[in-house]
Amino acid sequence: MKTIQKLLLGLGAGLLLVGCGNNSNDNSSGAMASSNAEQVYVAPGEHDEFYAFMSGGYSGNLTVYGLPSGRMFKEIPVFSQFPTNGYGYSEETKAMLNTSFGFIPWGDSHHPDISQTNGELDGRWIFINENNTPRIARISLTTFETDEIIEIPNSAGNHASSYVTENTEYVVAGTRFAVPNPQKDMPIDDMKGKFKGPLTFIKVDQETGHMSIDFQLNMPGFNYDLSHPGRDKSHGWFFFTSYNTEEANSMLEVNASQNDKDFIAAVNWQMIAEYVKNGGGTKVAGTYAHNKFDESTMTATTEMKEGVISVDPREVEGAVYYIPVPKSPHGVDVDPSGQYIIGNGKLSTQLSVYSFEKMMKAIEDKDYDGDAYGIPILSFESVLEGVVDSGGLGPLHTEFDGKGNGYTTFFISSEVVKWKIGTWEVLDRKPTYYSVGHLMIPGGNSRKPYGKYMVSLNKITKDRYLPVGPELEHSAQLYDISGDKMKLIYDFPTHGEPHYAAGIPADKIKSQSKKYYELEENNHEYAVKNEANTRVERNGNEVHVYATTVRSHFAPDNIEGIKVGDKVYFHITNLEQDFDVPHGFAMIGANTSEILIMPGQTKTIVWEPKREGVWPFYCTDFCSALHQEMQGYVRVSAKNSNTKLRWKLDEDWNE
């Protein structure tokens, strides 16, 4: 057995031990517990201090929590159809899930990142990546809805994503799986030297937030795992970890751990953007969907696009370097000052801290240790600033508190270690329950972290909650980090698997949160703004119902003259102009969805009646004391019948 295999088996066994009913929390009972309870207690009617946006992982969505209470406020559908409000089912939102591979109903979301101005969270948008079918989404922090999704062509396993530069100039995506670029039929065994690892830089329009692919850097075919932007003094650079520099294509757990060192790619994106602006790069093939939700028409559309600008890293001298990092790194993180870049081998106990200044000096001195496919490898010793001798095992991700400290998660030893920037000494360590992946400090990926709380996002839950069968929600833990020592104060379950989260002080965004949509500004093609205009129109076997809702009836609520084989579009406008008064719509036998319509909004579902009869519909949201009365009927006649098309609310039929 190869040594590495033994090592991995050993690590697995260690994890099991850690995960076995270890309930020795340092502060789970007695007086400590009551003070912890006070710290996380948000009294009825009061608000949390922070929003926490947690990636849903294999839910494909993004969930919104409050800190310190750990209460979940909303699940924002992003890459997955969402029954609760009809996202991805309603006619208006289906296009959001279009890709070059067709309509994809379910995705895998990973890393949310909030937009920034001058390196500080600005609360305009939050971005999140889809890992499986590479995409990046932009969510409005006014409506808390997904406004845009752009597919990343030529990429695979969009994991090193979706981090923003310090003025949100770019949101960045990296391919986790090396792939042929352009894609083609070739033997897998020929991978080495032939596959590529494109890193994609997506421009963000500062007014609208709209994303457009500026260029793809066609890097050597390693696996690019995670990334972080430089900031402040290192603004203009982006850092990507890579593993599998062996370019193995099978049994990676062994074969991708052969080299002693893998790389962090340091990319001067400003230089490359300049180069591309001046006509540099080559246009290459790449089909991708670009989906935009128009808040005025309340409708999403897909534009299929073709071709991206590809840049060979060797074309732009001085723009791309590799920094050696102990084997198989995962996270790469940059401290708030932009001076230090943290990388760590996943199987190591040490964190390597690199200095941006030393990196620049090594570049200037051409202090190289050879090259990889023509990309200079900077000398490890020359760029290394310090080492954190953590004593932990399996370091993954680091965040910062803005007070001179770093916090690193250790998956295998299941703990968070706090260390001091500059001296690299370990200041504190606390266990996590169990096997922490990412951690989050609000603003932790910016120049200005809010170092009051830290959340560990744990991969394994085991005995933390009442058992609910084999499938458990993941577990988050809240630590008070305002003092010298971290203090575990709360456990709460998260939805899906939160790979990373992004937190922001509530005051920064809560007052901008939209209360309802202005009916006047509703430019939906099928909107009706009053009951007088409600109607039913037939066009062949297509029937369009222009309907409204208001407490507590639909207009119209009786429809006749629908036939088996028709395609009936219910376009429903909610006439309410008040906060938190949605109405729902459900039609018996509709195969598309139910929908939930916000005040001022229009939404559409399609119903294809299969059988003759008189079929009811109703409101699904308990909207008033007479909610149960909010219902109606559709009479369905035989395909060849001549029942007249007519509709009414109350007494008189219209036709």
Find, among 297, 391, 367, the residue nearest to 93 by Cα.
297
Q: Which residue has the tokens 């920034």?
A: 116
Least spacing, CB of residue 622 vs ligand CUA, in Å: 6
Question: 653 touches which of ligand RUQ, ligand CUA, none (CB within 5 to 8 A by kind)?
Answer: none
541-560: contacts with ligand CUA (CB under 6 A): 549, 552
Taking residues 608 to 627 in sequence order and writing x for each that binds ligand CUA by CB under 6 A, - otherwise, the string is -----------x-xxx---x
**Residue 111, contacted partner among ligand CUA, ligand RUQ, none, CB below 5-8 A by kind:** ligand RUQ
Residue type, 37: A
Contact call for residue 127 and ligand RUQ (CB under 6 A) = no
Is the CB of residue 353 less than 8 Å from the CB of residue 386? yes
Of 373, 314, 329, 370, which is closest to residue 194 (Cα–Cα)? 373
CB under 5 to 8 A by kind: which of ligand RUQ, ligand CUA, none does 583 bind?
Answer: ligand CUA
Whole-number minimum distance, CB 331 to ligand RUQ, in Å?
6
CA distance 128 to 106: 15
Each residue 380-419 as x (binds ligand RUQ by CB under 6 A) or -, in order, gives ----------------xx----------------------
Nearer to ligand CUA by C-beta: 361 or 627? 627
Find which of ligand CUA, ligand RUQ, none residue 630 binds, CB within 5 to 8 Å per kind: ligand CUA
Residue with tokens 């900077």, as numbered in its chain: 378
Smallest separation (angstroms) from ligand CUA to the CB of 617: 11
| Omega cis (within 30) before 153 | no
Residue 153: burial class (beta carbons within 10 Å; 0-12, 13-18, 19+): buried
Run of H or E residues at 360: helix 356-364
Q: Which residue, 220 or 599, is less far from ligand CUA as judged by CB? A: 599
Among 18, 23, 25, 47, residue whose Cα is nearest residue 489: 25
Closest CA to 531 of 562, 556, 494: 556
Contact 129, 175 (CB under 8 A): no
3-state secondary structure of 456: strand
Contact call for residue 429 and ligand RUQ (CB under 6 A): no
- State which residue, 402 or 632, has the beta carbon closest to ligand CUA: 632
Query: Which among ligand CUA, ligand RUQ, none contacts residue 621 (Cβ within 5 to 8 A by kind)?
Result: ligand CUA
Choose the contact partner of 619 out of ligand CUA, ligand RUQ, none; CB within 5 to 8 A by kind.
ligand CUA
Length of the chain: 655
- Would you state the structure tokens that stand for residue 268, as one six-digit string? 């001067």
Q: Return the DSSP state at 59.
A: G
- Residue 478's identity, in one-letter code, is L
* Token pair in block for residue 548: 């409204």
Give the whole-angstrom CA distance, residue 261 versus residue 244: 10
Q: Which does 292 bind (CB under 5 to 8 A by kind): ligand RUQ, ligand CUA, none?
A: none
**Binders of ligand RUQ in range 482-511 (CB under 6 A):** 499-500
Q: Does 630 bind ligand CUA (CB under 6 A)?
A: yes
Nearer to ligand RUQ, 454 or 543 (CB): 454
Contact residue for ligand RUQ among 324, 437, 444, 600 (CB under 6 A):
437
**3-state SS, residue 10:** helix
Q: Which residue is nearest to ligand RUQ (CB)?
A: 437
With respect to ligand CUA, which residue has the nearer C-beta, 333 or 621?
Answer: 621
Strand, coil or helix: 391: coil
Contact 352, 363 (CB under 8 A): no
Residue in 159, 261, 583, 603 binding ligand CUA, rule: CB under 6 A? 583
Residue with structure tokens 């900031």? 231
Binding track, positions 320-349, relative to ligand RUQ; x by CB under 6 A: ----------x-------------------
Question: Could you list the residues that contact ligand CUA (CB under 6 A)?
Answer: 549, 552, 583, 619, 621-623, 627, 630
Give contact residues for ligand RUQ (rule: CB under 6 A): 110-111, 159, 330, 396-397, 437-438, 499-500
